[in-house]
Chains A and B, each alone.
Chain A
C-alpha cells in the first residue's frame, strides 16, 4: 500500500460519520432505482414469458351462442394467427363455511387437446378426465383460501342447476393474473373462483353442445387489432356477438399494465431526485474536504507529486464513498425488490416471480453519483493547483463576507450571533438553497405519500359510506321484473330494497371509446347514489347520462355532449344520449341513467338486474341463507367483505410505502443536516472556540453553528409541505385511471407527522454535532489558524 493510500484509508476513517451519511443517502437513491427499475423488468418480463408460454389471447370475442364451425371462419380472418373457441359462463360455489355463495367463472378447455390459446398452468393434481363430467380444475388461490385440495367435492350452481363436482387439480392462468369478484376492484382470494372443465361437461350445463360462447384470437406480427375486432364484430353479429375487445381491455391485463406503467413512471421520477441530492451532498463535502486539505496539497506539490497523482488520490476517496453507497443501495434494492415481489404475489397470481436486477439502472446510479462527486472535487482542486505550493501551504485569508452584505446589521433588533447565522446564509446562498431543496424533497415525498394514504382512506369512506350505503348487493341471473323487489322487501330482516339495471355498453365520444356499463338507478335512491363532487345527490330523469368523473375524463366529455351508446345486450340497439352531469366516483368508471329511461331505451320496461339491500344486522345471516336458495340469484356480495378486501390492499400497498417514505424523509434530512453541520463545524471550529473563549456558553456557541441548520430546516418545512401537496396531486393523477379515482384530501396530520419526522432528523444530527462542539479543545483551536 502506498503512503497516499494509507492516508486515504485514514482520511476515510476520520470522516467516517460524514462518509456514512453520504453513502446512505446515495444508497437510498440507488436502492429506489434498483428496486423500481428491477420491479418493472421483473413484472414485465415475467408477464411476457407467462403470456407466451400459455398462449394468452390478444383479442376476445364473446357471443351468445355460435356453432363450432364458426371457429374456422374466425381462424381464417386476415391478421389472425391462431383462434380458439370456448364456453364461458357464470357459476356460484356454495361452501359449507359461508352463508353467501362465491361468484365464479366457469371456462371450458378442449376435451382431448391442449387449448390453442389461454392454456392453464397446473400447480397441483391433474387435469380433468373428459370422460368424467364431474371433474373440475380450480383456481389455486381460491382453493388455498378455503383449504380445498384435489379430491375434495365442490357444490356449484350453473345455469340454475346445482352440480356436485370433484376437484382434480389446482391451476393458474395468465388470464387471471389479477382476479377480483365481479363488480369489485381489489382481489380477495376467498371470494372469487375460476373453474376449468371439459368442453363436454360444460356444454351440458350451459346447453352449448356443438357451440361456443367466446372466441379467442392471437394476431400475426404487426397486425392492428382494430381491424380484426371490426372483422370479428361483423362476422359474429348473427351469433349475438357483444363486441370483441383486445387485450388492453381485458380486466386482468389492464390492472397489471396500470401497475407496471405507474411503477415505470415513478421509477423515472423519484430515484433521480435521490441521486441528485446525494450527488449534491457529495459534491459539497468533497469540495470542502479538498479545501481543508489545502496545506497538505501544497506540501505534496512541494515534494514533487504531480497534479494528476494528487487528483487521483482524491478521486479514489470519492470513488470509495460512491461505490460503497451504490453497493449498499444495490443490496438494499435487491432485498426490498424481493420483499416487494412477495407483496406483488399477493395481488398478482404469477406462477413465480423472481426479482431481476436491471444492470442498466445500477450502472446509471453509480455513474451519476461518481461523476457528480468527481466534478465537485475537480473544481476545488483546479483552484488549488493554480496556486504556488508555498502559497497553498499558507493558511487562507479570512473568509470574505463583503458579498454577504451588511443588511443584517441594519436590523438592530438582531444580536450578533443571529447576524452571524444570517450572513452565512447570504454568503453561500446556493449551498444553503441546496440543503433547503434536499430537505424539501424529503419532506415532500413524505407528505405526498401520507396525503395519498389519507386519500385512499377517504376513497374507502366515500365509496362504502357515502356513494353506496347498502349492506349487500344481489345480482340476478338475468334481467328480472321489478316485482322481485317486492318479494325481497317482504322478507323479514330486509329493511330497504332498491333495484338497479346494469347494461354492458360501448360508449363513444368522437374517437374516444370506453367499454363498460350503464347503471339505471331508481328515482331518489337512498342506497346507491350519484353525487356531485360536493356530495349533493344528482337527480336522474329523462334519457340523459350522468358520467363518473373518471369516465368523463377518459371520454373527454362534459355536460351537453352527446355520446353514442352501443348496447351489448339483447337487441343491441345503438343510442345517442346526452350527458347531463358528472358524478363523483372512487371505483371504476360508471355511467348512471334513470332506470325507467334505460329500460325504455332497451324496450324492456320494468326490468332490473341487481338489487341493493339494507339489512337488519340481527337477521342478516338468515337473509343471506335464504337468498342463496333463490334460483334467480346469481350472487350476493357483502359490502363489509368488499370493504375489508379494499382496506387490506390499501394497508399492504400504500400503507407500507407511507412508512418507507417517512423513513426516507428522515434519512435525507439527517444526511443533509448532518453533513451541513459537519462542514459548518469544520469551517468554523476556530470561530466557535473563539466564542467560547470570550465567554459564550456551550449553548450560545452551538446556536451560531446550529442556528443556520435550524433555519434551513424551518425554510424547508413549508416548501416541503407545498411540494408534498403537489406530489400528492401528481401521485393521485398517476394512480387514478378508469379503475380507481383517488382524490387528494387535506389532512393536517399528514403534514404534522412529516414535519415531525424531518425535525427529529434535524435534531438528531444537530445533537451529534453539538457533542463535538462541546468537546472542542479551546487551546488547540486558538493555536492554529483554521
Chain B
C-alpha cells in the first residue's frame, strides 16, 4: 500500500494556559502525523493534553507555540474566519454532552448542518445510519442520552466530513449505549472513509482503533498501531 500524505501533521505543538507560577502546560511540544481514513483513539488521564490537541486540530483553540497542518494547509496560520470555514466544510464534532439545540427536533438538528454543508446527505439518511429514523420528530428533551448522542453523530456525519472529532463521546452514557455509539462511529469510518479521532478515558475503546496514542503530562508517551481492530460490539468494558 503506497504511503498516503498525512491528513494532519503537527510540529512542536505547545499550549500553555495562564502565566507565571500558575501556568499550566497542557501540551509540551507534540509532534505527530496521522494518515487519513483511520480510527485514532487518544488515551490518557485528565489533563494529559489529549483534548487540547483535539481542540487545536478542530480549530477551536490555538497553540502557544508550534504548528499544525490539515492536508498541507497550516491551521495555526488561519484567521478566525478561515477556521470557521474549515470546520464548516471538513469537520464533524461529537461531544460528551451532545450539544444539540433544544429548540430543534432531531431531524432539524441534522438539517442545521446540512443547510450549510457543500455535499450533505439527506437528513433522514443520516438519522437512519444511527438507527433513529423513527424518532426524527422528537425534541432533545424527549430523547434518552444515548439517542441524543446518536442524533449528535448523525448531525456530525450528515455533511460527509473528512474528519470526525469525538471528545468523550461515551462519557455520559452507560456501557451498552456507549458500545452502540462506538459501533456507529466504526461503521461510518468503514462506509464513508472518514478519519475518526476519539478522545477518551476508557482504555477499552483502544481495541477498536487503528492507532492508539497515549498521553501523559502534555506529551505523547506512545503510539501503537493495531493491525486487527475489534468490532465495537465485541469490546469488553
Chain A residues near B (Cβ < 8 Å):
397-402, 404, 406, 409, 415-417, 419-420, 423-424, 427, 686-687, 690-698, 700, 778-779, 782, 785
Report B51-80 residues with CB < 8 Å from chain A CB.
55, 58, 60-61, 80
- Let me know if B127 is at the binding interface, CB within 8 A: no
Report A-chain residues with C-beta under 8 Å of the C-beta of B93: 693-694
User: Which residue from A397, A399, A401, A779 sits with its C-beta under 8 Å from B61?
Assistant: A779
Can you name the residue of chain B whose Cβ is closest to the Cβ of A701?
B84
CA distance A409 to B116 in the complex (A): 18
Least Cβ distance of B70 to chain A in Å?
Answer: 14
User: Which residue from A398, A402, A415, A697 sits with its C-beta under 8 Å from B115?
Assistant: A415
Report A-chain residues with C-beta under 8 Å of the C-beta of B85: 695
Q: Are B139 and A402 in contact (CB under 8 A)?
A: yes
28 A-B residue pairs with Cβ-Cβ distance under 8 Å, sorted by A, are A397-B141, A398-B140, A399-B103, A399-B141, A401-B102, A401-B104, A402-B141, A404-B103, A416-B111, A419-B104, A419-B108, A420-B103, A687-B101, A693-B58, A693-B60, A693-B87, A694-B87, A694-B113, A694-B155, A696-B84, A696-B88, A697-B84, A698-B80, A698-B84, A778-B60, A779-B55, A779-B60, A782-B99
CA distance A397 to B88 in the complex (A): 28
- Let me know if B203 is at the binding interface, CB within 8 A: no
Report B-chain residues with C-beta under 8 Å of the C-beta of A696: 84, 88, 116
Report A-chain residues with C-beta under 8 Å of the C-beta of B111: 416
- Let me know if B137 is at the binding interface, CB within 8 A: yes
Q: Are A416 and B108 in contact (CB under 8 A)?
A: yes
Other CB < 8 Å A-B pairs besides A397-B141, A400-B102, 15 of them?
A398-B140, A400-B139, A402-B141, A416-B108, A416-B111, A419-B103, A419-B104, A420-B104, A427-B103, A692-B84, A694-B87, A694-B92, A779-B55, A782-B95, A785-B97
User: Which residue from A397, A409, A693, A697 sits with its C-beta under 8 Å from B108?
Assistant: A409
Report B-chain residues with C-beta under 8 Å of the C-beta of A698: 80, 84
Report A-chain residues with C-beta under 8 Å of the C-beta of B116: 695-696, 700
Can you name the residue of chain A whose Cβ is closest to the Cβ of B54?
A779
Q: Are B103 and A423 in contact (CB under 8 A)?
A: yes
- Let me know if B223 is at the binding interface, CB within 8 A: no
Report A-chain residues with C-beta under 8 Å of the C-beta of B108: 409, 416, 419
Residue among B61, B91, B97 having the largest count of chain A Cβ atoms under 10 Å: B97
CA distance A700 to B116 in the complex (A): 11
Residue among A409, A416, A691 having the largest count of chain B Cβ atoms under 10 Å: A416
Least Cβ distance of A708 to chain B in Å?
Answer: 11
Report A-chain residues with C-beta under 8 Å of the C-beta of B139: 398, 400-402
- Let me know if B212 is at the binding interface, CB within 8 A: no
- Let me know if B81 is at the binding interface, CB within 8 A: yes
Report B-chain residues with C-beta under 8 Å of the C-beta of A409: 105, 108, 137
Least Cβ distance of A445 to chain B in Å?
Answer: 34
Least Cβ distance of B163 to chain A in Å?
Answer: 12
Report A-chain residues with C-beta under 8 Å of the C-beta of B140: 398
Report B98-156 residues with CB < 8 Å from chain A CB.
99-105, 108-109, 111-113, 115-117, 137, 139-142, 148, 155-156
Report A-chain residues with C-beta under 8 Å of the C-beta of B99: 686-687, 690, 693, 782
- Let me know if B89 is at the binding interface, CB within 8 A: yes
Report A-chain residues with C-beta under 8 Å of the C-beta of B100: 398, 690
Least Cβ distance of B31 to chain A in Å?
Answer: 22
Report B190-237 residues with CB < 8 Å from chain A CB.
none
Can you name the residue of chain A whose Cβ is closest to the Cβ of B165?
A693
Can you name the residue of chain A whose Cβ is closest to the Cβ of B172?
A785
Can you name the residue of chain B whose Cβ is closest to the Cβ of A778?
B60
Least Cβ distance of A698 to chain B in Å?
Answer: 8
CA distance A401 to B140 in the complex (A): 8
Can you name the residue of chain B whose Cβ is closest to the Cβ of A704?
B101
Q: Are A694 and B112 in contact (CB under 8 A)?
A: yes
CA distance A594 to B63 in the complex (A): 95
CA distance A782 to B199 in the complex (A): 14
Can you name the residue of chain A whose Cβ is closest to the Cβ of B97?
A785
CA distance A406 to B142 in the complex (A): 13
Report A-chain residues with C-beta under 8 Å of the C-beta of B115: 415-416
Report A-chain residues with C-beta under 8 Å of the C-beta of B88: 694-696
Least Cβ distance of A542 to chain B in Å?
Answer: 75
CA distance A628 to B155 in the complex (A): 93
Q: Are A406 and B137 in contact (CB under 8 A)?
A: yes
Least Cβ distance of A384 to chain B in Å?
Answer: 19
Report B-chain residues with C-beta under 8 Å of the C-beta of A400: 102, 139, 141
CA distance A695 to B139 in the complex (A): 22
Residue among B108, B155, B156 having the largest count of chain A Cβ atoms under 10 Å: B108
User: Which residue from B95, B102, B105, B156 sits with its C-beta under 8 Å from A398?
Assistant: B102
CA distance A778 to B165 in the complex (A): 15
Report A-chain residues with C-beta under 8 Å of the C-beta of B155: 694
Least Cβ distance of A378 to chain B in Å?
Answer: 26
Q: Are A420 and B89 in contact (CB under 8 A)?
A: no
Report B-chain residues with C-beta under 8 Å of the C-beta of A404: 103
CA distance A695 to B82 in the complex (A): 10
Please provide the 4 A-B residue pairs with the shortest distance between their CB atoms, ordered closest to farther: A695-B88, A690-B99, A399-B102, A423-B103
CA distance A663 to B144 in the complex (A): 50
CA distance A399 to B142 in the complex (A): 10
CA distance A401 to B105 in the complex (A): 9
Least Cβ distance of B221 to chain A in Å?
Answer: 23
CA distance A402 to B103 in the complex (A): 9
Can you name the residue of chain B whose Cβ is closest to the Cβ of A686?
B99
Report B-chain residues with C-beta under 8 Å of the C-beta of A424: 103
Can you name the residue of chain A whose Cβ is closest to the Cβ of B140?
A398
Report B-chain residues with C-beta under 8 Å of the C-beta of A415: 115
Q: Are B141 and A416 in contact (CB under 8 A)?
A: no
Report B-chain residues with C-beta under 8 Å of the C-beta of A693: 58, 60, 87, 93, 99
CA distance A417 to B112 in the complex (A): 7
Report B-chain residues with C-beta under 8 Å of the C-beta of A399: 102-103, 141
CA distance A696 to B112 in the complex (A): 10
Q: Are B142 and A416 in contact (CB under 8 A)?
A: no
User: Which residue from A406, A690, A694 sits with its C-beta under 8 Å from B105?
Assistant: A406
User: Which residue from B81, B91, B103, B112 sits with its C-beta under 8 Å from A697?
Assistant: B81
Q: Are A782 and B113 in contact (CB under 8 A)?
A: no
Report A-chain residues with C-beta under 8 Å of the C-beta of B80: 698
Residue among B60, B85, B88 having the largest count of chain A Cβ atoms under 10 Å: B60
Q: Are A401 and B141 in contact (CB under 8 A)?
A: yes
Can you name the residue of chain B whose Cβ is closest to the Cβ of A781?
B99
Q: Are B142 and A402 in contact (CB under 8 A)?
A: yes
CA distance A691 to B61 in the complex (A): 16
Least Cβ distance of A431 to chain B in Å?
Answer: 14
CA distance A424 to B101 in the complex (A): 11
Least Cβ distance of A426 to chain B in Å?
Answer: 9
Report A-chain residues with C-beta under 8 Å of the C-beta of B109: 416
Q: Are A782 and B97 in contact (CB under 8 A)?
A: yes
Knowing A695-B87, A695-B113 are in contact, say whether A687-B102 is a contact too (CB < 8 A).
yes
Can you name the residue of chain B whose Cβ is closest to the Cβ of A782?
B95
Least Cβ distance of A784 to chain B in Å?
Answer: 8
Report B167-185 residues with CB < 8 Å from chain A CB.
167
CA distance A416 to B105 in the complex (A): 10
Report A-chain residues with C-beta under 8 Å of the C-beta of B60: 693, 778-779, 782
